[in-house]
Chain A
Amino acid sequence: MQGVWVALLAFLTCGYFALAGFDYGVGALLRVVGRDERSRRAVLRAVTPFFLGNEVWLVAAVGVLFGAFPRLEGELLSSQHTVFAVLLAGLVCFTVAVQLRSSGWDFLLVGGALVVAVGWGVLLGRVLGGPVWLWGAGMAVVFWLHGAVFLAWRLSGELRARATRIAGVLVLPGAGFAVAAVVTAGSVPRPAFGVTAVLALASLGGVRVALRAGRHRVAFGCSAVLCALPVVGVFGARSVVTASVMADVSSLRVLTWAAVVVVPLVLVFQWATWRMSRAAR
Chain B
Amino acid sequence: MDALGLARLQFATTTSFHFLFVLLTLGLVTSVAVMQTRATLSADPVHARMARFWGRLYVVNYALGIATGIVMEFQFGLNWSGLSTFAGDVFGAPLALETLVAFFLESTFLGLWIFGWDRMPKWAHLALIWLVALTAFASAFWIMVANAFLQHPAGHELRDGVLRLVDFSALLTNPTFGAAFLHVCFASLTVGGVFLTGVSAYHFIRRTAEVDFFRRSLRLGVVLTALATPPLVGFGFGQFPIVERYQPEKFGTVGAADGAGLGFMIQIGFALLLVSWVTVPLLARDLVVRMRFPLYLMVLGIPLPFVAAIGGWLFREVGRQPWLVQGVLTTRDAMSHVGADQVLVSFVAFTSVFAVLAVADWVLIARLARRGPVDSDEAPVSPLVPAL
Can you name the residue of chain A whose Cβ is closest to the Cβ of B334?
Answer: A74
Q: List 9 A-B contacts (CB under 8 A).
A: A50-B111, A52-B384, A59-B69, A74-B80, A88-B71, A96-B360, A98-B384, A251-B89, A270-B108
Can you name the residue of chain B whose Cβ is closest to the Cβ of A78?
Answer: B336
Contact of A60 among B80, B81, B104 (CB under 8 A): B104
Cβ–Cβ contact B79 & A78, under 8 A:
yes
A256-267 interface code vs B (CB 8 A; 1 in, 0 out) = 001101110110
- How far is the CB of A12 from the nearest CB of chain B, in Å? 9
Cβ–Cβ contact A273 & B115, under 8 A:
yes
Of B164-172, B203-211, B307-315, the one contacting chain A is B164-172
Contact of A251 among B73, B90, B336, B349 (CB under 8 A): B90
Residues of A with C-beta under 8 A to B103 = 56, 59-60, 63
Whether A63 contacts B73 in the complex (CB less than 8 A), given A74-B82, A262-B100, A276-B115, comes out as yes
With the chains together, A155 CA to B81 CA distance in Å?
A: 44
Cβ–Cβ contact A270 & B111, under 8 A:
yes
A81-106 interface code vs B (CB 8 A; 1 in, 0 out) = 11011101101110110111100000
Asked if B101 is an interface residue, CB under 8 A from chain A, the answer is yes
With the chains together, A74 CA to B333 CA distance in Å?
A: 13
Cβ–Cβ contact B84 & A70, under 8 A:
yes
Of B45-53, B279-287, B293-301, B337-345, the one contacting chain A is B337-345
Cβ–Cβ contact B346 & A82, under 8 A:
yes
Q: Which residues of A contact B (CB under 8 A)?
A: 41, 44-45, 48-53, 55-56, 58-60, 62-68, 70-71, 73-78, 81-82, 84-86, 88-89, 91-93, 95-96, 98-101, 247-248, 250-251, 254-255, 258-259, 261-263, 265-266, 269-270, 272-273, 276-277, 279-280
Cβ–Cβ contact A77 & B165, under 8 A:
no
A-B residue pairs, 6 tightest by C-beta: A70-B88, A67-B96, A63-B99, A74-B81, A77-B77, A78-B336
Residues of A with C-beta under 8 A to B63 = 51-52, 95, 99
Can you name the residue of chain B whose Cβ is closest to the Cβ of A45?
Answer: B386
Please count the residue pairs between chain A and chain B whose beta carbons lie under 8 angstroms apart in the complex. 242
- Knowing that A64-B96, A78-B338 touch, tell me 8 more A-B residue pairs with CB under 8 angstroms: A51-B63, A56-B107, A56-B108, A60-B103, A98-B383, A250-B89, A251-B90, A262-B105
B347-373 interface code vs A (CB 8 A; 1 in, 0 out) = 001100110110010001000000000
With the chains together, A68 CA to B71 CA distance in Å?
A: 19
Residues of B with C-beta under 8 A to A277 = 115
Residues of B with C-beta under 8 A to A76 = 77
Contact of B100 among A52, A63, A70, A92 (CB under 8 A): A63
Cβ–Cβ contact B364 & A100, under 8 A:
yes
Residues of B with C-beta under 8 A to A262 = 100-101, 104-105
Asked if B97 is an interface residue, CB under 8 A from chain A, the answer is yes
Q: Which residues of B contact A (CB under 8 A)?
A: 60, 63-64, 66-71, 73-74, 76-85, 87-90, 92-93, 95-101, 103-105, 107-112, 114-116, 119-120, 164-166, 168, 336-338, 342-343, 345-346, 349-350, 353-354, 356-357, 360, 364, 382-384, 386-387
With the chains together, A85 CA to B90 CA distance in Å?
A: 26
Contact of B77 among A50, A78, A91, A99 (CB under 8 A): A78
Residues of A with C-beta under 8 A to B105 = 262, 265-266, 269
Cβ–Cβ contact A273 & B92, under 8 A:
no
With the chains together, A53 CA to B107 CA distance in Å?
A: 6
Cβ–Cβ contact A91 & B338, under 8 A:
no
Cβ–Cβ contact B64 & A258, under 8 A:
no
Can you name the residue of chain B whose Cβ is closest to the Cβ of A49?
Answer: B115
- How far is the CB of B290 from the nearest CB of chain A, in Å? 38
With the chains together, A255 CA to B142 CA distance in Å?
A: 12
With the chains together, A266 CA to B103 CA distance in Å?
A: 11
Can you name the residue of chain B whose Cβ is closest to the Cβ of A96?
Answer: B357
Cβ–Cβ contact A59 & B70, under 8 A:
yes
Cβ–Cβ contact B77 & A60, under 8 A:
no
Cβ–Cβ contact B112 & A60, under 8 A:
no
Whether A92 contacts B92 in the complex (CB less than 8 A), given A53-B111, A71-B85, A269-B109, comes out as no
Can you name the residue of chain A whose Cβ is closest to the Cβ of B347?
Answer: A85
Cβ–Cβ contact B99 & A254, under 8 A:
no
